[in-house]
Every structure is written in C-alpha cells, then in structure tokens.
Amino acid sequence: MVLPAFKPATYEDLFDLPENLVGEIIAGRLITHPRPAPRHARACSAIGFELGSPYDRGHNGPGGWWILDEPELHLGRDILVPDIAGWRRERMPRLPETAWFELAPDWVCEILSPSTARLDRAEKLPIYARQGVAHAWLVDPDLRTLEVFENREGKWLLLTVLENGDEVSQPPFDATCFSLSGLWAD
C-alpha cells in the first residue's frame, strides 16, 4: 500500500479556516484550536494590561517595548500565534507594514489551556528558543501559575514558578511589579 505524499500546509490554508479557529503551521502541519475560553482570555487581557501601560506606553514604567496580542509570527517555515508577544523598540523601531512579523519577538507569553498546553510546551517553545526569543512566560489559569523562562544558548532555563497571588517582577519586565491574582477570573 502506498501512502499519499505529505503535502505541507501553506499560508493560504490559514485563509480557509472558520473565524472561530486560530491556525498555526508547525513543521508543515496545519494546527487549529478554538478561540480562548473566558479564563484564558481574562489571563491574557490582564497580562496585556499590566505590561502594556508601563512597557509599551511608558506610563509608570520604562517604556521601550511593543506589546501585542496574538501577533502572527513567520519564523522560518513555521507560522505561530503566541497569546502575547513583545519586541524591544531598539530591535524593531517601527511595526511592519505586513499583517505578520518576521522578526522573532524578545518575549512571548502563552496562556495554557487543556487543548493547547502540549503544543505550547513541546512544539512552540523549542521553535521560540531556536529563533532567539530571549524570554518566555507560560501562564496556567487553571493551576494559577506563571512559569518564567530565559533562553540560554537555544535552551530554556526555568527561572521561577509563581502561583496564586504572588508578586510578579520577572525578566524581562522586572522594572515593575504586579500581583498574579489579577489574572485569575474569580
């Protein structure tokens, strides 16, 4: 029996997806998952709020960053959509004119859900490391945890795990502090 040849997914395949799905291409495979559930969306929005004002806008913080929700990243052959990503403006002075980014971010944040946790950890994190992303945060709204990673020579080093209402002042956003409790929908 001859198996059909593997046909890698293309960028155009993403256009055919229903609006309720997020599509990514990893190692030539089209991967889809539904839009985030409320707890996931709450954690994502809260992090964006906590980091956006001091780092993106420079209000009560150092500024110097672009902090964006669900940017489309074209990293080599892979197309990824992290929940939140940040670029230092010294590396990316202006936003690109395209609908996607080819420059790897300096920081990514993935909000874990039962349907995406394996993908985020086992497939996306290695790509981010290989592409030179310096920092990664994994947030689990069910466990109420934040895992903070730093890229060391293409490998992730776990710096700390925070939980519940711990205070967050972690790289690369250690110039400010916020309570992790603000991420959880109670």
Identify the domain containing residue 104 by its residue range.
36-183
Rounded Cα–Cα distance for residues 118 and 73 (Å): 19
Those residues whose C-beta lies under 8 Å from the C-beta of residue 164, and which sit 6 or more positions away, are 144, 180, 181
- The whole-model pTM stands at 0.93
Q: State mean pLDDT over 144-155.
A: 97
Contact assessment for residue 82 and residue 71, using Cβ atoms and an 8 Å cutoff: yes
Tokens of residue 115, six digits: 């349907």
For residue 81, being part of any structural domain is answered with: yes
Report the mean per-residue pLDDT for the chain: 94
Q: How sure is the predictor about 1, in pLDDT bands with cuts at 50, 70 and 90?
A: low
Strand (E) or helix (H) holding 40: helix 38-51
What is the CATH classification number for the domain harbouring 58?
3.90.1570.10
Q: How many domains does the chain have?
A: 1
